[in-house]
Chains A and B, each alone.
Chain A
């Protein structure tokens, strides 16, 4: 069985984000980019499933401009067998529904038994792509997965999900879509031997025309602003002053 993992190139989680002065978006030039942390967890899970013998191949895919290849190289360096880069050129950010359509097209070519994605990307926080592609493929979905157990014989995935009320366990018939949550696993580091091996692994470039997918943006970003600045704290000199401020300024007493 093949596992396909979708990965996204985003601004590194640890970078301090700055909004552009024209409010059209976020400062992206000269900023460190990395693989979306949830996608990293997805790659790790796919590798563990392959190492357990339940799958034969892990294919990493990404949609985006030329630099996406770096993100795919990370996936290969972690241990993915090969990669597919869907080149979106200078179209700007590709939105979840478009990505879902692209993934559907790839799934129809590659025929994986499992499609793993991160639950959301840390740049747009949409949390939509996994669910949309499952809908388009009419596949079962286990989102916010915190534990995945694959039964190769029965072709069933048991997924434990983190939901508001606690943990929910689902049983999914394969092929299925799983999106990863933080506690699913701790991704491995890219080791030098694997980085060396990755250099001979293939990243196949595919165009949108080849996939027969048209990207149509139904959303327009009107404005991006920073959240209002937090007011500085004040050191009070006595308990009386504290009570006074809580009563009259913060109005919580």
Chain B
């Protein structure tokens, strides 16, 4: 019988009742039919002794409780059975760990804030967890250029607070910012709310220090804006989700923090208005546009229902779609006037049916809470099937409509996301995981996306969840070259195995 790794077996009714708090309830879902790779060794006492030798005592963790939280992902969908968690303090320790693991053929899972949404940051079987959370020093900030150098374990929000003091800001901003670490953000090429203004990490990251599977430390921690000397290897590591090496340091260009932010929360009656609003916003707001997000009525209902202290900006009426538009600039009155003119014109033109503008930072935070809280609200509502798709803007909402038709009353389908980047977060919410529902979702959603030449993972990555789905978005030849690179850089395949690329790359 094929062993099922990395799956949380569906709890029976008694155990569901036993776990009293909603956020600790675990739901099993997809079955990953990957066997444990027999070429990987199992940990023995010699290994433990070696690690205790090279690392500080309290950073070699075998304690059940700490292991159990490191073995399970944020969505509580994937649970590994690792018996060892290591917390290296510096690059040298990471190098020694990997060199040893490589020589012993011990599989490794690099881990940071463990906030990933595709099961990429937790073991599938008994891989050793190497968590860089202790490597959280800020190395330097060049106050003139805004180039920040820091260790991979720095929490995103901490970096942003540090930068705030110097009038800079992190170019990425996501709901997980209080827990996610920059190493993980770079490994997954995180997008986030300000992508439409500051662009991709591929553009903002200037350098990396990476440790390869055999312990080699690649010092590519440059801090130059322009450096065309040879192949720019850092791009391989950005977005490769820990399968090519462990990122230990990051050098990133941070934009100037501008003083004036304005946020508007708008209501639209149909998706085509949202789309036209986006087009007009890019023209009408131009250089001050810093975020353009949307959410549908199901998402709004869920947030209002499941989260505390969240207020509907339009209490008296229900709307089909909501849009958040943020501007960031240097002159508050000028930006405010620009935003107001744009919105008033849009309202007169029938694109917006209602809207509010935040009058202070508190109001702005409460608007963002609505958008950023959807993920949390979905978790509280029960089981969630989460998809992250890049689609042509005109087609983006069609999949939400189709999916709701397919599923009928068996599920609630929520569509929201970074409309400004053509990125839809499609979430299907059901009280419990249900194979019948799942069968209606996959592979339909991937096939639909492929048909429209979209991406089956805009920003979340492939992880374990979509490890065998890459062919929906990438050609055979491309995947073949990725496989060659993987085998070159990690011949024993110990770096985050079973993830990102399909297992078939190992078949002859």
- Complex formed: what's the CA distance from A37 to B313 in Å? 18
User: What is the number of residues of chain A that contact chain B, defined by CB distance less than 8 Å?
Assistant: 25
Q: Is the CB of A12 within 8 A of B340?
A: no
- Complex formed: what's the CA distance from A70 to B316 in Å? 27
* A195 interfacial contact with B, CB 8 Å: yes
Would you give the shortest CB distance from B353 to chain A, in whole angstroms? Answer: 10
> Which residues of chain B from 160 to 209 have any CB-CB distance to chain A below 8 Å in the complex?
164, 167
Would you give the shortest CB distance from A12 to chain B, in whole angstroms? Answer: 5
> Which residues of chain B from 232 to 291 have any CB-CB distance to chain A below 8 Å in the complex?
259-261, 265-266
Would you give the shortest CB distance from A155 to chain B, in whole angstroms? Answer: 32
Q: Is the CB of B259 within 8 A of A34?
A: no
Least CB separation from B347: chain A residue: A192
**Segment of A13-21, A106-114, A167-175 in the binding face:** A13-21
- Complex formed: what's the CA distance from A64 to B471 in Å? 64
Contact with B along A56-87 (1 / 0, CB 8 A): 00000000000000100010011000000000
Q: Is the CB of A189 within 8 A of B354?
A: no
Q: How many A-B residue pairs have CB under 8 A?
A: 69
CB-CB under 8 A from B333, the residues of chain A are 70
Q: Is the CB of B360 within 8 A of A35?
A: yes
CB-CB under 8 A from A77, the residues of chain B are 357, 359
Given contacts A30-B259, A31-B259, A196-B344, whether A189 and B361 have CB atoms under 8 Å apart is: no
Given contacts A30-B259, A32-B332, A70-B333, whether A12 and B361 have CB atoms under 8 Å apart is: yes
Q: Is the CB of A191 within 8 A of B355?
A: yes
> Which residues of chain B from 337 to 357 have any CB-CB distance to chain A below 8 Å in the complex?
340, 343-344, 347, 352, 354-357
Least CB separation from B58: chain A residue: A237
Would you give the shortest CB distance from A79 to chain B, in whole angstroms? Answer: 13
Contact with A along B324-341 (1 / 0, CB 8 A): 000000001100100010
CB-CB under 8 A from B355, the residues of chain A are 191-192
CB-CB under 8 A from A30, the residues of chain B are 167, 259
- Which of the listed residues A32, A37, A77 has the most CB atoms from chain B within 10 Å of its own CB? A32
CB-CB under 8 A from A15, the residues of chain B are 361
Given contacts A192-B344, A195-B340, A196-B344, whether A34 and B359 have CB atoms under 8 Å apart is: yes
* B16 interfacial contact with A, CB 8 Å: no
Would you give the shortest CB distance from A139 to chain B, in whole angstroms? Answer: 29
Least CB separation from B364: chain A residue: A14
Given contacts A70-B333, A191-B355, A192-B356, whether A14 and B362 have CB atoms under 8 Å apart is: yes
* A242 interfacial contact with B, CB 8 Å: no
* B484 interfacial contact with A, CB 8 Å: no
Would you give the shortest CB distance from B366 to chain A, in whole angstroms? Answer: 9
Would you give the shortest CB distance from A75 to chain B, in whole angstroms? Answer: 10
Q: Is the CB of A13 within 8 A of B313?
A: no
Q: Is the CB of B359 within 8 A of A189?
A: yes
Given contacts A14-B362, A15-B361, A70-B333, whether A190 and B356 have CB atoms under 8 Å apart is: yes
> Which residues of chain A from 174 to 196 have any CB-CB distance to chain B below 8 Å in the complex?
186, 189-193, 195-196
Q: Is the CB of B340 within 8 A of A189?
A: no
Contact with B along A29-63 (1 / 0, CB 8 A): 01111110100100000000000000000000000
* B68 interfacial contact with A, CB 8 Å: no
* B8 interfacial contact with A, CB 8 Å: no
CB-CB under 8 A from B410, the residues of chain A are none
CB-CB under 8 A from A34, the residues of chain B are 359-361
* B32 interfacial contact with A, CB 8 Å: no
* B221 interfacial contact with A, CB 8 Å: no
CB-CB under 8 A from B266, the residues of chain A are 192
Q: Interface size bucket, B side?
A: 20 to 34
- Complex formed: what's the CA distance from A32 to B358 in Å? 13
CB-CB under 8 A from A195, the residues of chain B are 340, 343-344, 357
Q: Is the CB of B360 within 8 A of A14?
A: yes
Would you give the shortest CB distance from B183 to chain A, in whole angstroms? Answer: 23
Least CB separation from A71: chain B residue: B359
CB-CB under 8 A from B340, the residues of chain A are 195
Contact with A along B293-316 (1 / 0, CB 8 A): 000000000000000000101000
Would you give the shortest CB distance from B401 to chain A, in whole angstroms? Answer: 28
Q: Is the CB of A16 within 8 A of B164?
A: yes
Given contacts A12-B360, A32-B332, whether A191 and B344 have CB atoms under 8 Å apart is: no
Contact of A192 among B311, B343, B360 (CB under 8 A): B343
CB-CB under 8 A from A189, the residues of chain B are 265, 313, 356-359, 363
CB-CB under 8 A from B336, the residues of chain A are 70
Contact of A14 among B260, B356, B361 (CB under 8 A): B361
- Complex formed: what's the CA distance from A189 to B366 in Å? 11
* B103 interfacial contact with A, CB 8 Å: no
* B365 interfacial contact with A, CB 8 Å: yes
Given contacts A32-B259, A32-B332, A196-B344, whether A191 and B354 have CB atoms under 8 Å apart is: yes
CB-CB under 8 A from A192, the residues of chain B are 266, 343-344, 347, 352, 354-357
- Complex formed: what's the CA distance from A209 to B265 in Å? 42
CB-CB under 8 A from B356, the residues of chain A are 189-192
Least CB separation from A30: chain B residue: B259
CB-CB under 8 A from B311, the residues of chain A are 186
CB-CB under 8 A from A190, the residues of chain B are 356-357, 359
- Complex formed: what's the CA distance from A95 to B347 in Å? 42
- Complex formed: what's the CA distance from A12 to B263 in Å? 15
- Complex formed: what's the CA distance from A77 to B343 in Å? 14
Would you give the shortest CB distance from A126 to chain B, in whole angstroms? Answer: 20
Contacts A32-B361, A35-B359, A70-B333 known; 12 new A-B pairs at CB < 8 A? A13-B361, A14-B365, A32-B259, A32-B261, A74-B359, A189-B356, A191-B356, A192-B344, A192-B354, A192-B355, A196-B344, A196-B347
Residues of B within 8 A of A (CB): 164, 167, 259-261, 265-266, 311, 313, 332-333, 336, 340, 343-344, 347, 352, 354-363, 365
Residues of A within 8 A of B (CB): 12-16, 30-35, 37, 40, 70, 74, 77-78, 186, 189-193, 195-196
25 contacts between A and B (CB under 8 A): A13-B360, A31-B259, A32-B259, A32-B360, A34-B359, A34-B361, A35-B359, A35-B360, A37-B360, A40-B359, A40-B360, A77-B359, A78-B359, A189-B363, A190-B356, A191-B356, A192-B343, A192-B347, A192-B354, A192-B356, A192-B357, A195-B340, A195-B343, A195-B344, A196-B344
**Nearest 6 Cβ contacts at the A-B interface:** A14-B361, A34-B360, A189-B356, A192-B355, A30-B259, A12-B361
